[in-house]
Amino acid sequence: MNKLKDAFNGLTLVKALIYLFFIIFMLLPLFSVFLVSFTGQPINLLGSLTDPKILSSTIEKFQGASIESYTSMLQNSSYGSALKNSLGLALLVALIVILVCIPIAYGIARTTMPFKKTISALCTIPLIVPTFISAYAFIIMFGRAGWVTHIWQSLGFEGMLINPYSMTGIVLVQVFFFFPYALWPMVAAFKVSDVTLEEASQNLGAKNWFTFVFVTFPLAIPGVISSALLIFTVSFSDFGTPIILAPSNLNLLVVEAYREIAGFFNWGGAAILTVVMVLVAAFFFWLQHLFTKGKNYGSVSGKPKVQKLNDNKVLTRVITVYSGFLVLIPLLAMLSITLQSFATTWGKDPLPNGYTLDHYKTIFTSSMGNIQNSIILALGALALSVVIATFVSYFVVRQNSTKLDFLTSIPLVVPGIAFGIALIQTFNTAPLHLTGTALLLILAYTIRRLPYMVRSTMGTMRSIKQDVEEAAINLGATPLTAAITIIGPLMLPGIAAGSVLVFITVIKETSISILLAPAEWAPMSLAIFQNILRGEYYTAAAMSIVLVVLVLILQAIANRMSARNPN
């Protein structure tokens, strides 16, 4: 009896601790940044609880609170134009990505296009590369000294084909590197309409194109819209591309927020921008959720759908060539970085002047610390998220704790830069002075990437039937023993798959690293960023390659694991 009580209390305690964790490190920062957006000055909520002096000053600040900053934002200040530009950028990227993806999605889902597998595989490349590296690659290609510019000018044209330091540049990078996010949901959407519907349409006298326009495509529309909203949120929250490419006369929310905090320590301004970013992202995330809710494509019935594949030779070849072009750009971008990393110097020529391994030597001698930091920080975040995610999925699946489920999906909505600002603001004074420590960095990574882990562990948790656990208890095991000996081992595949995903995304993480990492804990992404700012392009390129290779290796491990465990 006592043993059961202990186990029960143990689980309840764990649940309380998890709630506490989310309240202190996620809800409190977001809430306090929300308050700061009204007071205009930093406030210390935790301190107010422990120290009466801080409390009284907090109250004073509240008395000075106003919505003035919000109203002035509406009156076309620089914040207003930043919001407009950010919305415009996200909208444009979402629209273009959808238009660009329709032919490929159709090709993969519904035709016998040649090289389908190769193109599908190449479409994952853009997802591996952190966006600030992609942006930097665009500079190598299209910049003033870029090899594309060189070819362009030797063809007799003036200036640059595309100026990477512009809205156009940002849009292009985001389109070429974000389209895979939309591609796979859209492929699924094009598979919704099955052959019986299309044959019915033909049977009623419709031609092929008519069937596509009026049957296949309308059925795919919810999926397409949902993809568009996803791209919108991803583009809106992206920090890597704008921070590298945005010209000084182009205001964007993420860049503006970063400058306010890193340049001017303008807490009030940064807070307003953070609140706006979170609200916009949350709104579009909610819209997307609305569209996908109740639409479980493809997996509803056990009866396999029969799909008729279009094998029109002209059409499929055109689609293949087109898709090839689309994946070629990211491929060339990565190739350019690879070349740069081996180049002695690379001026305004199609190829480098000479080749050397010096840059890698530099990295592995002087920047080994950054690689170590990245790995240590990622491992820390990994350990923390494994523990939290395992328990969270247990509580959500077995005890139907929907609140916890909701809490763990909040990080999906909050843009990285916004979350970073919220954390800095909240933890830069006593009693919990964590800003500038590796611990806060790990906490931030953990919370930000926890949804991936939870999704993975929750999947396996759901696949473990309740009666297996009951059987263990029936055979005499306490709930805790059952958890250790039965649930734990059965969840391992899910934990492993989630771990790799968390590890990869933490290593790629840009905004949090740039904002929060102290100098002695600078991870690779921050080092690359600083190298680019300092103009040390060759070492930045070499470091980028090391990062991408690391991610590639982990991705390969993850793929092998998920191939073995189809969860």
Partner 1 sequence: MGSVKVDQLTKEFAGVKALNNVNLDIQEGEFFALLGPSGCGKTTTMRCIAGFEQPTTGTILIGDKAVNKIPPNRRNCGMVFQSYALFPHMNVFENVAYSLNIKQLNSSNVISQAGIYLRLLNRKFGKYPKDIEKKVMEILEYVELDRYATRLTSELSGGQQQRVALARALVMEPAVLLMDEPLSNLDQKLRHSMRNTIRRIQQDLGITTIFVTHDQEEAMSMADRVAVMDHGEVMQIGTPTDLYSRPATPFIANFVGTSNMLKGTVVDEVDGLSIIKGDGFQLRSSQTSTKKEVDVIIRPENIKVYKADRVPSDASNLLEGDIVVSTYLGSIVRYDVQIGNYQLVVDTTYSSGESILAAGEKIKMSIEPERVLLI
| Nearest one of 95, 98, 84, 90 to 236, comparing CA atoms | 90
- Give the residue with the Cβ less far from partner 1, 338 or 463: 463
DSSP letter at 214 equals I
Residue that has been written with the tokens 């010096």 in this structure? 358
Q: Which two structure tokens, joined as six digits, stand for 101? A: 């993806």
Burial, 553: exposed, middle or buried (Cβ in 10 Å; 0-12, 13-18, 19+)?
Answer: exposed
Q: Which two structure tokens, joined as six digits, stand for 513? A: 């690293």
- Give the residue with the Cβ less far from partner 1, 305 or 564: 564
C-alpha distances in Å from residue 38, one per residue of 70, 75, 421, 483: 8, 17, 15, 47
Tell me the closest approach of the beta carbon of residue 287 to partner 1, in angstroms. 33
- Give the residue with the Cβ less far from partner 1, 475 or 519: 475
400 binds partner 1 (CB under 8 A): no
Q: Which of 67, 471, 533, 553 binds partner 1 (CB under 8 A)?
A: 471
Cα–Cα distance, 259 to 253 (Å, whole number): 10
Residue that has been written with the tokens 């059952």 in this structure? 482
Restricted to residues 364-393, the positions that interact with partner 1 (CB under 8 A) are none
Contact 250, 167 (CB under 8 A): yes
Tell me the closest approach of the beta carbon of residue 5 to partner 1, in angstroms. 9
Sorted by sequence, the CB contacts under 8 Å of residue 440 that are 6+ apart come out as: 423, 427, 434, 516
562 binds partner 1 (CB under 8 A): no
Q: Which two structure tokens, joined as six digits, stand for 27? A: 């809800």
Tell me the closest approach of the beta carbon of residue 431 to partner 1, in angstroms. 37
Tell me the closest approach of the beta carbon of residue 282 to partner 1, in angstroms. 33
561 binds partner 1 (CB under 8 A): no
Contact 412, 230 (CB under 8 A): no
- Give the residue with the Cβ less far from partner 1, 1 or 314: 1
- Give the residue with the Cβ less far from partner 1, 294 or 489: 489
Contact 459, 562 (CB under 8 A): no
519 binds partner 1 (CB under 8 A): no
Tell me the closest approach of the beta carbon of residue 459 to partner 1, in angstroms. 16
Burial, 423: exposed, middle or buried (Cβ in 10 Å; 0-12, 13-18, 19+)?
Answer: buried
Q: Which of 377, 434, 472, 515 binds partner 1 (CB under 8 A)?
A: 472
Cα–Cα distance, 518 to 419 (Å, whole number): 17
Tell me the closest approach of the beta carbon of residue 493 to partner 1, in angstroms. 10
Residue that has been written with the tokens 């790990």 in this structure? 442
What's the residue count for the chain? 567
Measured over all CA atoms, what is the biggest interatomic distance in the chain, rounded to whole angstroms? Answer: 87
Tell me the closest approach of the beta carbon of residue 490 to partner 1, in angstroms. 6
Tell me the closest approach of the beta carbon of residue 391 to partner 1, in angstroms. 19
What are φ and ψ of residue 343, in 5° steps?
A: -85, 140
Q: Which of 144, 207, 295, 465 binds partner 1 (CB under 8 A)?
A: 465
Give the per-residue contact string, 477-516, with partner 1 (x = CB under 8 A; - = no).
xxx-x--xxx-xxx--------------------------
- 3 state DSSP class of 70: helix
Segment interacting with partner 1, rule: CB under 8 A, options 163-171, 361-369, 460-468, 550-558: 460-468
Q: Which of 20, 74, 470, 559 binds partner 1 (CB under 8 A)?
A: 470
- Give the residue with the Cβ less far from partner 1, 487 or 558: 487
Q: Which two structure tokens, joined as six digits, stand for 509? A: 């993480």
Q: Which two structure tokens, joined as six digits, stand for 417? A: 């830069």
Got the DSSP string for 287-303?
A: HHHHHHTT---S-SSSS
Q: Which of 127, 331, 473, 561 binds partner 1 (CB under 8 A)?
A: 473
Report the alpha-carbon angle 342-345-351, nearest 5.
75
Tell me the closest approach of the beta carbon of residue 393 to partner 1, in angstroms. 18
Tell me the closest approach of the beta carbon of residue 228 to partner 1, in angstroms. 41
Cα–Cα distance, 455 to 530 (Å, whole number): 33
Tell me the closest approach of the beta carbon of residue 487 to partner 1, in angstroms. 10
Q: Which residues on neighbouring strands pair with residue 111, listed in sequence order?
A: 310
- Give the residue with the Cβ less far from partner 1, 220 or 487: 487
- Give the residue with the Cβ less far from partner 1, 6 or 199: 6
- Give the residue with the Cβ less far from partner 1, 410 or 472: 472
Tell me the closest approach of the beta carbon of residue 478 to partner 1, in angstroms. 6
Segment interacting with partner 1, rule: CB under 8 A, options 228-236, 359-367, 476-484, 497-505: 476-484
566 binds partner 1 (CB under 8 A): no
- Give the residue with the Cβ less far from partner 1, 125 or 477: 477
Total residues at interface with partner 1 (CB under 8 A): 22
Tell me the closest approach of the beta carbon of residue 294 to partner 1, in angstroms. 24
| Nearest one of 353, 347, 355 to 147, comparing CA atoms | 347
467 binds partner 1 (CB under 8 A): yes
Q: Which of 17, 468, 549, 556 binds partner 1 (CB under 8 A)?
A: 468
Cα–Cα distance, 177 to 161 (Å, whole number): 19
565 binds partner 1 (CB under 8 A): no
Cα–Cα distance, 120 to 327 (Å, whole number): 9
Amino acid at site 528: I
Contact 95, 229 (CB under 8 A): no
Segment interacting with partner 1, rule: CB under 8 A, options 26-34, 165-173, 221-229, 463-471: 463-471
Segment interacting with partner 1, rule: CB under 8 A, options 97-105, 179-187, 444-452, 464-472: 464-472
List residues binding partner 1 (CB under 8 A): 1, 4, 465, 467-468, 470-479, 481, 484-486, 488-490
